[in-house]
Structure 1
Amino acid sequence: MFRVTVSALATLWFFGFASPAAAGAERVVEALFACDTDFFEVLKSERSAFSSQEVRTVFYEHLRTDIVEFDPPVEVLGLRLTSYRQDTVLNYGLRPSAFSWGFQVDETPVGTALALRKYFPGEKPFRGTVDMLQATKGYPDQPGKLFAISKPRLAGETGANLECHSGRKDLGNIWSLPDVVDLFSETWASGSRWQAWIFGWLD
């Protein structure tokens, strides 16, 4: 009887506490597919679904990458999310010209595409190569915007990135994406971020 009671309490705890976090993570990933700035509002409201204490900022040539590692990884939509990352492409005047944002997962690009086929239906939902699969369905009147699944860019990384790519024009000519510290925590201090300038560390 005692074991049955404990088991029942454990089940109630799981559905009462774990499920809302999982549902929040699912809403965030689903919001990513629209590739618009509403995603950041959803992420900020559901940030409790993700646990992390560190931000890395990596600079390589004209690319700035902000990375938030998840500990533990987040299981959602058949994928294992290991980090959030966003890139800012800087032109020679050090002004942003394009952005990308999304999640890194443990699965391969092809495995990720298969897991997301519910959201990208059709006979050929993606086109490209095993290095980068671009969603066939684009965004009307926004030719500079796309959703893609690609191999990670930093050397030594595995899995895949599922991310949106967009130029400034298709995001209302914004000058920056929201700071990742603001997206994921109300309490992090600036000292929780460390920066690195990487030379020759991309695949």
Structure 2
Amino acid sequence: MVLALSANVAHAEAVRVKTRVVDEMVQVTMRTTVEAPMPLVWAVLTDYAGSAAWVPGMRSSRILRRDRDGIVVEQNGYIDVVVFTVDMHVVVKVREFPPDKITVNLVEGDFEHLEGAYALWPDAKHPGVTHVQWSGQLKPAFAVPGVVSSSVVERNVRMQFEGLVAEVNRRERARRGLPPLPEDKPVRIPRGGEF
């Protein structure tokens, strides 16, 4: 799936995800390019209270507090695990380094370990085009074999990242006064037999 504002946009690319398991920890790197300026991408990434509307599998997201050390965000949702779903709850500490870096670290929740960072950078040759990357490590608190854990994480984080990109595209089209496209709608993860 090419994530672009329109069929003839040449500067957007599909979401690429790489995962590998190291010492029971799933290491994830996701990357894509969107035709939207960095401030708009930043606004979507930092819309913690609104992200449940467009992140697949997320039921709620709320800011618990802001202080000089960062932002504490609580999120509830679910992930697909082979043939069933698992409810997930996390509280994370988010630190923003405008305009190009956001770090996320687990405070508590349904992971033994969760840490990562978003990085943004403008395309040197194409104004208004932004590269987006998330790199991190996580280990769910529930027992899943390494190979299965890697594929479960890859599938779910890909869908969440695609939801992010769809929201960026939707906001960019609105900024330009264009109607939304069908592919700009978030992908919803089926829950417990909702096929």
Q: Same fold (TM over 0.5)?
A: no
Which structure dedicates a bigger proportion of its chain to helix? 1
Q: So what's the TM-score if we normalise by structure 1?
A: 0.28
Which structure dedicates a bigger proportion of its chain to strand? 2
Q: Which has the larger radius of gyration?
A: 1
Q: So what's the TM-score if we normalise by structure 2?
A: 0.29
